[in-house]
Structures are given as structure tokens and as C-alpha cells.
A and B are shown apart, each in its own frame.
Chain A
Amino acid sequence: MARLSRRQFLTGTAMFGAELAGLAPAARAATRREPSPDRTGVLVDTSVCIGCRSCEFACKKAHGLETPPLESYEDRSVFAERRRPDHTALTVVNRYDNLRDPELPVAVKAQCMHCAYPACVSACIVGAFTKRPDGAVVWDTGKCIGCRYCMIACPFQVPAFEYHKALQPRIMKCDFCSARRGEGKIPACVEICPVEALTFGPREDLLRIARDRVKRFPDRYVSHVFGEAEVGGTDWLYISGVDFSALQFPQLGRSPAPGVSESIQHGIFAYFVPPVSLYALLGAVMWISKNSPESGEEA
């Protein structure tokens, strides 16, 4: 009896190990994907933005969301409270006090930052998010299960969820106008901006422009290009005359948001060596303790 079950047990262990080993390539393929060096971005110059909210209008229209007429966006009363992008608006403009010049409040457009190393892409249980070579972080409705882990992971708290829908609720966020760009157009918000507060182009160029402006006009800008280094870099970049912490930008480190969790994950699963070793160890303990004289028959 003991010999039979031992053989059974060993083959079982081997089979289980082989099965796990079969899964290993999936884990290996999941190593850090470097973003394309040619990716595009948008430079937001908050010192130029006049807070007209045309971008909100253009965004809604481009994404087929319910869009009030353009005149209604002249309503300044919305600035009374801080708004965030949600399922009705993928971008919103907020207004902040300017301590340096109270006459000149700062308007800040908020939307997905399109991180170089997006936490949502790393976190998504089904891989519904993709970082495209053109810079856009896009979401695939065909895969999403609605677990909202992307919202937990996002350092900018951008993805929004359609809580009111019982069927096919969507994750809603700026998709960098992927559909329009497929047709050769530029993002809707950039196109409509009347004062060119938004500049669309290759991220490398934008970064150069941003650094140049900050350097040439030290009176006009704080010397910080937000998104240059934050969470490993974002493809949307901001420059401002006011410290970013006064504009509700989160204080973030330079390392990519998914860094720590991915190294833990890969540590635990390093080619399935740890789980398989644990399995073998427990098997050994089971076998030894079974043959020890004090134990009785197994259930």
C-alpha cells in the first residue's frame, strides 16, 4: 500500500510540475515592455490655457457622448467645485487660485496621462489595456470584466466606471483620440483649443519645447516639467507658472508605478521554480512523516 501510493504520489508530483512548467512562457513574456521611442504626446501649457472648456466640448463630440451646445461651456460656475473626468466627460478643466497673481487663476485640463509604463496595463486581470506604439493607452471592451482594478492601480485616478449600468458597464477614459488618429486627424481637444495651450507631437520634441520654455522664461514657469520623470514618464506633459502641488497634481516618484508589484510577482513565480520547489518540499515532508513510526494509517 505504502509503495503503491508513493509511486502514485511521485508521478502525480511530476505531472503537476510539468503542467506548471507549461504555463511558464506566459510569465516570461510578461517582462517589462519598453515604450516606443517614437510615441506621441501632448504638451499642456497651463500658463496659456484660458479655461474656455472648448476641449471638453470637442472631446465629448469626438467620443459620441451626450454633448451640450458649445455656448453652454461659457458657464464659469462649474469652476466652483473640483471636477474629475468620468463616464460623461473624458476630460475636464478645473480652475485653481494663483498665489503669484490672484488676477490670473490657473486653468488645468485633466485626462489620462498616457503613462510610459501604465499601471492599468500591468494590473488589468485580462490584459484589456494596451500601451500602443503611438503612445495611446487604450481599453478593450471585448476583454474587460469590470473588476475596476485599473482604478485602484492608476496613480492619477483616471479610469472611470459606468456604475449605473447593469449590462456592459464600460471603463471610460481618454483614449488619445485613437479613432480620429486612425483617420489621420489630431486629437479633438488639441484641434479645437483656440489659444494653442495644447501642443501635439512626438514626445521627445514636446519635452525639448517644454524644457526650452521653462528655461527661457523663468519668471513665467516653475522649473518642473510634470510628466517628464513622474512614474517613469508620461506622454502628456504639463508646464505651469504655479507649483504643481497647488494644482492637485499627485506627488509621485520617478519609478514606474507597476515596478514593485511586478518584481514581487516575478520573484514569486520565477519560472515557477518557487511553487514547484514548495510542492516538492511538501511532498518530501509528507513522505517522510508518513513513514515515521508514530503515524497511523492515512485517511
Chain B
Amino acid sequence: MDGFMRPASLPRPFLTPGVGVLMLLALNGLVFLAGRFLFGIGAVTNLTNQYPWGIWIGIDVAAGVALAAGGFTTAALGHVMHREQYHAVVRPALLTAMLGYTFVALGVCIDIGRSYYIWHPLVYWNGTSALFEVGICVVIYIHVLYIEFLPVVTERFLGRVSLPGPLARLDPLVERLLRFLDRGLARTMSVFIIAGVVLSTLHQSSLGTLMVIAGPKMHPLWQTPILPLLFLLSAVSVGFPMVILESLLAARSFGLKPEMHVLSGLGRMTAPLLGITLAFKMGDMFIRETFVHLGACDTAGIMFMTEVLVGIVIPLRMFLSRDVLKSPPLLFTASALVVAGVAINRVNNFIIAYTPPYALKSYHPSFGEVSVTVGLISLLVLLYRASVIVFPVISLPDRTLARAKYTVKG
């Protein structure tokens, strides 16, 4: 960590009007969630035997995993490649990944019919199943993420442990535990960081393998044997834009100055990553000659064009421009486009591309499904806000830190 930037807790009030709105949305989601667990998946969703997977898989799980990729891309940049100037964004990205994957796991629990058997894949293995591979990697990776976050917790509470009421007697014990963790983690952290990167590459790509087995049930625009590669490339390319997006949003929300020198650096690196993704996507399209399907101008064609133009081509051009990299609003727009593009891509792969042979009517998410998804995302944002208030996650320049200390009193 350099002398100018230091992660610090943000002494701000948790409640704001925006937080209130998010709480209402979360509450609404929880109501429908209760319905799902009391009366079954069919009571809340529009899922059928023809369309067994909907937005709970397409958005909550598939898009969720992709958008949490910032965790491993920044870890690779900051810790593996030791680009110290980017340390400021490693912790926010790590927090996003940790919360993101936690909610992915939650999303899976909600979507599977027998949530109480979520542990079965740990016992009953099926090596041929891409889903098994994704599941195992995600389980291990969640643990790695929590371990990677532990130093933030020890940093916050070391020497400051004071449990309420009668629990105060345990203070020295907790203090010793934290000290033990802190020392042990400092020595072994590199093992976990590299493991996190490896696990991410594995399951980000295997998430793409998932739909390969659907074969001709999947629209030819998306069905390709290089799906795993495309998933990995797009996950890597959305990592930095997601970090930029969050940093700018957090800066806005907490009234901080955005760290533009760090963010434009991330933006500059995003351009080649998007370029590689685009090259493979276009190469795949021309080799398999699937462009013929674009002429049909149906939902699939339009969604494919949207995902490529909005999610890759336009932001690629933007990230190549010096003016965009210097301007927070333009950088925000470009990053938001990439994030939206990857989210659309995952929805396309898991929902739009999926064309079952005997469907009488197409799938549209029910109000309940949308409520649960929106509720989960709201809950995630609320937890993120709470976490950056409590834990030293967001890096502040030292003088801002000093000023913040005074403003909270005033």
C-alpha cells in the first residue's frame, strides 16, 4: 500500500432515502420468496417442463457469477502481477465478489427444488457434469473469497474488540484468535489468491459448457463448442468495468472524489480485453457461418446484435478514446455498457437462445420471479453499503480521511 491511499471504514449514516427504497424492494422480494418455499417453485414462477430455467438462473446465477469476476481479475492484477497502483480497487472488488458469490449460492438454493439437499454435490459426484464442476469450484471459491476478506476483518477489529454486555469477558479470546488469523493469513495469503484466480478461470468457463449439452435446443447464434472460452473471455473483460462502475457509484453515493488515475488505468486495460472477446465472437460467427441467422430480424438476432454492439463494439471504441478515460461520466457510461452487455449475453445464452422442441408458448418471467431477483440485488447493495461503512474497504487519500473525520462530527 502506498502512502497516499489507505483503505478506511466510511463513517457515514447507513440510512438514506435510496436505502429506504432498496429495503422496500428487498422486502417485496422476501414476500415472494416465502411463497416459493411454502407453495413450491410453480406458485411463484412461470417455469414449465419446457422452460425449466428462467431468470433466477439466467440473471441471479449466470450473470451474477460473471459480474463478480472483478474479484479475480483485480486480484490477478494487484497481487499476482504486483501492479501496486491498483491495490486501491482490490478490496472493493473482493467485497463485490464475496457478496456476489454469496448471492449466487443463495440464488441456486432458491431455484433448486430441494434446497435442503444443496450439499449433495459434495457427496454424490458426477465428473461428466459441467454443472457439478461449476458447483464444486463455486463452493471452494466462496471459501477462498471469505478467507481473502479475513485480513480486512482483522484489520478492523485487532486491538479494538469490545463485545457488548456479558460477552465482554470473551474479548481477550477473540483478540487472540484475530491475532492468530492475522499472522497465519499474512503468510499463506498468496496460496489462496492464486487458488482464487485458478478456480475462477475454471468455473467461469465451465459455466459456458453448461448449455453446450442442450445441443440443437440452443439457437445456433450462441451454440458453439467454444462457449466456455467465450464465457471466460467475457468474464475477464467485464471484471474491470464492473470495478469502475462500482467505484464511481460509491464515490457518488459517499461524496468522495473518484480515483480517476486508477480507474482510467483499468479502462485502458479493458479495451484489449474487449477486443479479444470480440475477435473470438466474430471469428466463431464467421467460421460457423451463423451470421445468416441475423438476417431473420427475430428476437434472437436482435438480442445477439444488442449484446455485440452495446456490450462490446461501442464500449471498445469508447475505452480507446483518451477523452473517455479522463471523464468520469463517459467512463461510467462505457463501463455500464460492458456490464449490461455481459448481463444480456448471459440472459441470451440461458434464456433467449434456449428453444425447447415442444414449447406452446414462450417463457416470460413472472412478477414473483422479477421481485425475487430485484429483491436479492437490493439486498446485495445494502450489504455492500453496510460493509464499506463498517470495514476498511474503500481506499481514501490520507487527507480525505482526515477531512472525513471532522465532517462526521459537524
- Residues of chain A whose beta carbon lies under 8 Å from any beta carbon of chain B: 4-5, 8-9, 12-13, 15-16, 26-27, 29-30, 82, 84, 86, 119, 121-128, 143-149, 151-153, 155-157, 159-166, 168-169, 248, 250-253, 257-258, 260-262, 264-265, 268-269, 275, 278-279, 282-283, 285-286, 289-290, 292, 295-299
Contact = CB atoms under 8 A, between A and B. Distances in A.
B49 A161 contact: yes
A8 B84 CA distance: 22
Nearest to A120: B213
A147 B112 CA distance: 4
Given A16-B195, A163-B40, A252-B216, A295 B84 contact: yes
Interface in B216-230: 216-217, 225, 228
B121 A126 contact: yes
Interface in B59-111: 76, 78-82, 84, 87, 90, 108, 111
A264 B356 CA distance: 23
Interface stretch (B201-209, B286-294, B318-326): B201-209
Contacts of B151: 299
Contact of B135 (A125, A152, A252): A125
Nearest to A251: B216
A86 to B, nearest CB: 6
Contact of B40 (A12, A15, A155, A166): A166
Given A145-B117, A145-B121, A250-B216, A152 B358 contact: no
A168 B125 CA distance: 20
Nearest to B199: A275
A153 to B, nearest CB: 5
B410 to A, nearest CB: 32
A145 B358 contact: no
B212 A261 contact: yes
A49 to B, nearest CB: 19
Interface of B: 1-2, 36-43, 45, 47-50, 52-53, 76, 78-82, 84, 87, 90, 108, 111-114, 117-118, 120-121, 123-133, 135, 151, 187-188, 190-191, 193-195, 197-198, 201-202, 205-206, 209-217, 225, 228, 354, 356-358, 360
Contacts, number: 225
A27 B136 CA distance: 13
Given A151-B52, A166-B39, A299-B1, A9 B190 contact: yes
A258 B213 CA distance: 6
A282 B129 contact: no
Contacts of B194: 13, 279, 282-283, 286
A170 B349 CA distance: 26
A289 B379 CA distance: 38
B227 to A, nearest CB: 8
Contacts of A298: 79, 82, 190
Contacts of B52: 148, 151-152, 161
A145 B82 contact: no
Nearest to B133: A265
A124 B129 contact: yes
A261 B213 contact: yes
A265 B206 contact: yes
A62 to B, nearest CB: 21
A215 B94 CA distance: 66
A162 B39 CA distance: 11
Contact of A257 (B40, B87, B118, B213): B213
B40 A84 contact: no
Contacts of A147: 108, 111-113, 131
B84 A127 contact: no
Residue among B41, B49, B112 with max Cβ neighbours from chain A (10 Å): B49
B288 to A, nearest CB: 13
B130 A261 contact: yes
* Those 3 A-B pairs whose CB atoms lie nearest each other, nearest first: A146-B113, A163-B42, A30-B127
Given A145-B114, A166-B37, A278-B198, A84 B132 contact: no
